[in-house]
Amino acid sequence: MRAVDLFAGWGGFTEGATAAGAQVVYAANHWPLAVEAHRANHPEAEHVCQDLRQADWGTLPDYDLLLASPACQGHSQASQPRRRRYHDNLRATAWSVVDCADVTQPQALIVENVPDFRRWRLYPIWRLALEALGYELRELRVLASHHGVPQRRDRLFVIGLRRAATVELRRRGPEPAFGPCIEWDKGRWRPITKAQPGAQRRIIAAQERHGERCIVQHVTGHKGLALSEPLRTVTGADQWAVVDGSRYRPLTIRENARAMGFRDDYHWPATATRGDTITGLGNAVPPPVARDVVQAVMEAM
């Protein structure tokens, strides 16, 4: 099964599709660093760095399965309607999926986004466009923690097949705890007393609820998490910190990557800043989720 990955980012979707047995032959994104990260981990694919709203779809190699994660920031209700034009612009990336399917006519397609994608006022029209191209669409809501990922991350997968087959996605075991992902001897710990007064109060309240060792979120009023639970959504905001008695620190890159289900030897470009890497991770499809969804779609095809 040959696949194309649009908005391929740092490669979560490709990583999972490869684990499911697909061969990703083409990956495209407009962020040079993302393309570099993707290429380092998936050198066998052809890589293209471009704005996909201006792509020439006729240049794609032959393939069967279209994978795509158009920009999701414009769909998250939390950030509406501030920065409206910017978000309109990002939402428009979803039309590239339609354009690509129109020109290249893959056997199947899988589009990943936030659940709020369905609240986009053009979503019904976007669906109709894909249906007009001959795809039977179904929507899957997938919780990453049901697929072996130590993170409760809720995402929407819109799946298009050329026939009315059922896509059966099976849950894999109980939700994993995030605690075993923590590297206690790594990172730059700080005394809790050095935190801002509001942050100190939140950390102490979280310790009262969850114990001396626990997880807290910067900035918001989140109540913290026990180490026996999965982490909550990793985003580009770099918002999670670990607390150990009288000290705390932000999660390391590796802890963030583990929370996303990436293998420890996944390669991050040496030139990438912490912010870049967390953005790449926070955008990604957790590879184990991608693996299970792609496998289920391949079985249905």
Of the candidates 283, 288, 289, 291, which one interacts with ligand SAM according to CB under 6 A? 283
Under DSSP, the state recorded for 272 is -
CB of 210 to ligand SAM, least distance (A): 30
> In this complex, which beta carbon is closest to ligand SAM, that of residue 259 or of residue 284?
284
| Distances from the Cα of 132 to the Cα of 69, 136, 156, 159, angstroms | 21, 9, 21, 15
- Provide the phi-psi class of 228: left if phi over 0, else alpha when psi is between -120 and 50, else beta: alpha
CB of 221 to ligand SAM, least distance (A): 27
Give me 110's structure tokens: 């899988």
CB of 258 to ligand SAM, least distance (A): 15
Binding residues for ligand SAM, rule CB under 6 A, total 21
- Give me the DSSP letters along 11-30: SHHHHHHHHTT-EEEEEEES
Pick the piece of the chain touching ligand SAM (CB under 6 A) from 101-109, 187-195, 224-232, 278-286.
278-286
The distance in angstroms from the start CA to the end CA of the chain is: 10
Of the candidates 32, 53, 77, 103, which one interacts with ligand SAM according to CB under 6 A? 53
> In this complex, which beta carbon is closest to ligand SAM, that of residue 199 or of residue 237?
237
Pick the piece of the chain touching ligand SAM (CB under 6 A) from 153-161, 171-179, 205-213, 280-288.
280-288
The β-bridge partners of 111 are: 68, 158
* CA dihedral (10, 12, 13, 14) positive or negative: positive
CB of 182 to ligand SAM, least distance (A): 23
CB of 69 to ligand SAM, least distance (A): 3
The β-bridge partners of 213 are: 244
- Give me the DSSP letters along 126-159: HHHHHHHTTPEEEEEEEEGGGGT-SEE-EEEEEE
Of the candidates 72, 159, 214, 278, which one interacts with ligand SAM according to CB under 6 A? 72
Site string for ligand SAM, 6-45 (x = CB under 6 A): -xxxxxxx---------------xxx--x-----------
CB of 7 to ligand SAM, least distance (A): 3
The answer to whether the beta carbons of residues 42 and 269 sit under 8 Å apart is: no
Site string for ligand SAM, 79-98 (x = CB under 6 A): --------------x-----
